[in-house]
């Protein structure tokens, strides 16, 4: 994922978490907040509770890859943070992909869904 599409600053993560909306799945939490950039930015959070550095990096790579695969199908102009939950370390890539897609669908961020009604309530 290119650097321009990443959320890196702590303040950006905090803004998405505090002012945005969130959806929960057993494997991860999705937090979103609109931006005015015309493209999406993504941040990934994997705490030390998930496991050692090798495990955390593997989980983060898998999460980034699932977002990369879905990126073309997502509505634009959103800051997105995906937060890993403990069970994610023990599942395969396909389960992470399905969880990510389910969360994006619930948030109405997939273009195949009606994006006009999302998050405005």
Kindly report, residue by residue over 12-26, the tens digit of the pLDDT.
Answer: 889 999 999 999 999
- Sheet hosting strand 28-34, strand order edge to edge: 21-24, 28-34, 78-84, 41-45
Dihedral, 109, 77, 34, 10 alpha carbons, nearest 10: 110
pLDDT at 121: 43
What is the residue-averaged pLDDT of the chain?
A: 89
Kindly report, residue by residue over 100-116, the tens digit of the pLDDT.
Answer: 999 999 999 988 765 55
| Pairing status of strand 78-84 against strand 28-34 | antiparallel
81 bridge partner residues: 31, 43
pTM: 0.87
């Amino acid at each position: 994922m290119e650097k321009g599409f990443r959320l890196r600053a702590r303040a950006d993560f905090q803004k998405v978490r505090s002012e945005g909306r969130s959806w929960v799945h057993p494997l991860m939490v999705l937090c979103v907040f609109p931006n005015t950039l015309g493209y999406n930015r993504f941040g990934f959070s994997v705490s030390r509770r998930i496991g050692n550095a090798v495990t955390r990096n593997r989980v983060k790579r898998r999460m980034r890859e699932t977002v990369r695969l879905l990126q073309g199908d997502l509505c634009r102009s959103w800051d997105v943070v995906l937060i890993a939950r403990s069970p994610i370390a023990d599942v395969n890539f396909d389960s992470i992909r399905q969880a990510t897609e389910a969360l994006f669908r619930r948030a109405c961020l997939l273009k195949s869904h009606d994006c006009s009604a999302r998050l405005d309530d």
